[in-house]
């Protein structure tokens, strides 16, 4: 899209134009920096503000854009008072006092996704959900390439959306968080999905209802809706007069799992592939595959090519990633499961009972919600980290619970109790920062401990 078309779209959607607008980018993380780089190529006037005294990208911004005004060390109200538009990074709450005051004064709030939507006329697939969105986004990237379509993926996953425009793709696949969606109004994806809705980030949203409403914003526009038939909170989002595809692992749907002597992924009456061809662990990953197939079909990708891509897809690091099999015991790293819903989904994907390693910072979640899945799907739980006692108290003896001080000890305890044929699952249901640099660091420590186990 050329500059004139972009400016016309921005003016139509937001009254954002070079003559009258003064845009303030709030937050200088990866998203804010990508927005600044994008806007620098346009005649729109903008400045940048960050509450940190020295945000990580400030030196690069000042070097590349010396004429751009930058305010650091707090949210100076005077910078907000002169702005006509705010582009608020997803890491910054809209409840910040200065932002809230500007909104009350009629200042337009937008997102980098709005800029992206106005900057391209290529089809967009948009993906959100409490769990699975990174996996589905990556699956679709592989599917698009396998179908011969130049496909770029990003958004909440890795590359900021605006940076994807440099790739000149024919299809864009965006993972979007609730934080991105709550400030986005211009997106009209050709196909979009809410994979599932389980409790997460409730401290930033108005409870589950508010959280679900923010997720539902992904369906703005007139594109195809892909809905999880197994999630009632998703199914109520269905809109009349819209192309809709459903997916399910529990019942008949447009794309569904047929259970039999050979479990198969189906589209209507058409068998697409055997579930055993997938390299991923768990029924929830079959649901992810079905969602990806539905999304790809909605934008015209070839089903055979998509299935070939799925058969090669090995999954993402720290998401149901099989680390090793030691003495007949399968060790699985799901460290990315930083909330209860992700842990429950992982547990429900097993047909047999597992030994679960859980714990960390619960972020105030109600650990009672973990209990039904623990009772049904675990033979023992090993807890560690800040809220180990909280998890143990919730389980309250329904299965044996063991305490560990660190990951090496947790793995050792699991190895002591596991027998051939068992699976040991690291799926913490908690954030990692009480003991680790990140969920990736936690997963790496798990893998190191597992690979250090004696093999005979």
- Catalytic sites, residue numbers: 133, 156, 201
DSSP code at position 259: P
238: CB partners within 8 A, 6+ apart = 225, 227, 244
> Which residue is associated with the tokens 């973990």?
370
88: closest CA among 78, 100, 77?
100
> Which residue is associated with the tokens 């023992």?
380
DSSP code at position 12: H
Provide the token pair at 54. Answer: 């020295």
34: closest CA among 173, 182, 179, 164?
164
Helix 283-298, helix 133-146: angle, nearest 10: 50
- Indicate if the alpha-carbon torsion angle 53, 56, 62, 68 is positive or negative: negative
> Which residue is associated with the tokens 């897809």?
313
How far is 37 from 47, CA to CA, in rounded Å? 12
Asked whether the beta carbons of 49 and 75 are under 8 A apart, the reply is yes
113: closest CA among 59, 50, 183, 173?
183
């Amino acid at each position: 899209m050329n500059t004139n078309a972009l400016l016309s779209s921005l003016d139509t959607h937001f009254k954002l134009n070079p003559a009258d607008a003064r845009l303030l980018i709030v937050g200088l993380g990866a998203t804010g920096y990508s927005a600044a780089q994008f806007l620098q190529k346009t005649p729109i006037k903008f400045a940048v503000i960050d509450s940190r005294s020295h945000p990580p990208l400030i030196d690069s911004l000042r070097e590349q854009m010396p004429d751009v005004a930058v305010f650091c060390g707090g949210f100076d109200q005077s910078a907000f008072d002169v702005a006509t538009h705010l582009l608020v990074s997803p890491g910054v709450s809209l409840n910040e006092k200065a932002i809230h005051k500007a909104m009350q004064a009629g200042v337009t709030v937008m997102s980098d996704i709005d800029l992206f939507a106005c900057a391209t006329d290529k089809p967009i697939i948009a993906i959100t959900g409490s769990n699975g969105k990174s996996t589905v986004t990556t699956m679709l990237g592989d599917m698009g390439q396998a179908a011969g379509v130049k496909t770029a993926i990003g958004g909440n996953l890795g590359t900021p959306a605006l940076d994807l425009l440099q790739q000149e793709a024919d299809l864009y696949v965006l993972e979007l968080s609730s934080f991105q969606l709550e400030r986005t109004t211009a997106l009209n994806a050709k196909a979009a999905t809410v994979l599932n809705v389980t409790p997460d980030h409730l401290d930033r949203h108005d409870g589950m209802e508010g959280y679900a409403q923010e997720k539902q914003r992904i369906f703005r526009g007139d594109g195809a809706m892909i809905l999880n038939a197994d999630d009632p909170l998703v199914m109520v989002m269905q809109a009349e007069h819209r192309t809709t595809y459903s997916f399910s692992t529990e019942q008949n749907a447009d794309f569904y799992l047929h259970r039999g002597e050979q479990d198969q992924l189906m589209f209507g009456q058409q068998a697409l592939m055997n579930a055993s061809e997938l390299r991923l662990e768990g029924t929830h990953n079959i649901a992810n595959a079905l969602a990806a197939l539905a999304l790809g079909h909605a934008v015209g990708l070839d089903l055979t090519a998509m299935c070939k891509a799925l058969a090669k897809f090995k999954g993402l690091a720290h998401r149901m990633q099989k680390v090793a099999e030691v003495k007949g015991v399968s060790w699985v790293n799901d460290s990315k499961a930083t909330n209860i819903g992700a842990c429950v989904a992982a547990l429900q994907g097993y047909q047999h009972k597992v030994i679960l390693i859980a714990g960390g910072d619960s972020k105030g979640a109600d650990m009672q919600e973990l209990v039904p899945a623990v009772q049904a799907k675990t033979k023992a739980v090993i807890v560690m980290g800040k809220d180990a006692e909280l998890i143990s108290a919730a389980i309250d003896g329904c299965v044996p619970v063991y305490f560990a001080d660190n990951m090496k000890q947790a793995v050792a305890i699991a190895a002591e109790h596991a027998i051939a044929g068992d699976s040991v699952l690291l799926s913490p249901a908690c954030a990692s920062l009480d003991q680790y640099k990140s969920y990736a660091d936690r997963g790496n420590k798990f893998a190191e401990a597992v690979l250090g186990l004696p093999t005979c």
